[in-house]
Amino acid sequence: MAAIPFQPMMESRPIREIAYEVLKHAIITGEIPAGERIVETEYADRLHISRTPLREALRKLERDGLVEYVQRRGVIVRAFTIADVEEIYTIRNALEMLTLPAIIQKATADDIAALRDRLHEMDNVMASRDFETLSPMARAFHRQMTEICGQNRILRVIEGQDQYITRFSSMAISQENRLLQAHEEHYKLVDYIEQRDLEHFQKLMHRHIERSKEKCLEALKAQRYLQKM
């Protein structure tokens, strides 16, 4: 069984916190798939840690809804449900909408040029049909745009949801028709920033996120990732 990258000596945080972040990332990205049983002895070996901080990390993951304790089976990685997707996209929509007025107000000519440069880089990747590379680039575009707001507390909350958003966005954008549509919407979002058109910026951002949610749900159903409700 391969080891999961884990470097506690390079971190000043408690080992349980590092273990939590490593496992959370592995679960959200699908490296540890839904339905897998997390056996404490095996995962302690993989992470090169003792079982005590691992148990603490697993309890925190249970509170996050990423794992569950099943009688006679132990700790199991939960599959994402419709409710999970709905909740994460609701959070994303609410948080990103809060940043839009400040983005419109604070965006400089350099900010707008940098966003367009990012989109031009994505044009080249789209031409090569490298959809796997395009998904993290699209998320990076959103982060770059959102950071213009300068609202650090909101940005920290968004950062806390970023792994979920990245996972779900990659599922949505893996569908070619949504990929092309989303890329066109990105260009239009930058146009609205440049025009200081808050009303249309807000409307398009809301539609953009809702369309991604719909495609994500379609992808999850097609891949049979959903639990029975």
141 and 205 co-located in one domain: yes
Domain of 127, CATH number, reads 1.20.120.530
229 lies in some domain: no
Domain of 144 in residue numbering reads as 82-222
Weakest mean pLDDT among 118-122, 158-162, 218-222: 218-222
DSSP bridge pairs for 38: 75
Q: Which helix or strand (DSSP H or E) is residue 68 part of?
A: strand 67-70
b/e sequence 109-140, b meaning 16+ C-beta within 10 Å: eebbebbeebbeebeebbeeeeeeebbebbbe
Whether the Cβ atoms of residue 149 and residue 106 lie closer than 8 Å to each other: yes
- Among 44-58, 78-92, 138-152, name the one with the lowest average pLDDT: 78-92
Residues 105 and 142 occupy one common structural domain: yes
Mean pLDDT of the chain: 87
Domain count across the chain: 2
Mean pLDDT of all residues in 92-118: 97
Enter the tokens of residue 78: 């939960």
pTM of the model: 0.77
Q: Are 157 and 194 found together in one domain?
A: yes
For residues 147 and 215, which has the higher predicted lDDT (pLDDT)? 147
Cβ neighbourhood burial of 168 (10 Å; 0-12, 13-18, 19+) = buried
Last residue of a domain, one of 77, 93, 126: 77
Judged against a pLDDT cut of 60, whether residue 226 lies above it is answered with no
Q: Which of 77, 107, 124 is the last residue of a domain?
A: 77
User: For 178-186, what is the mean pLDDT?
Assistant: 89
Asked if the structure places residue 60 within a domain, the reply is: yes
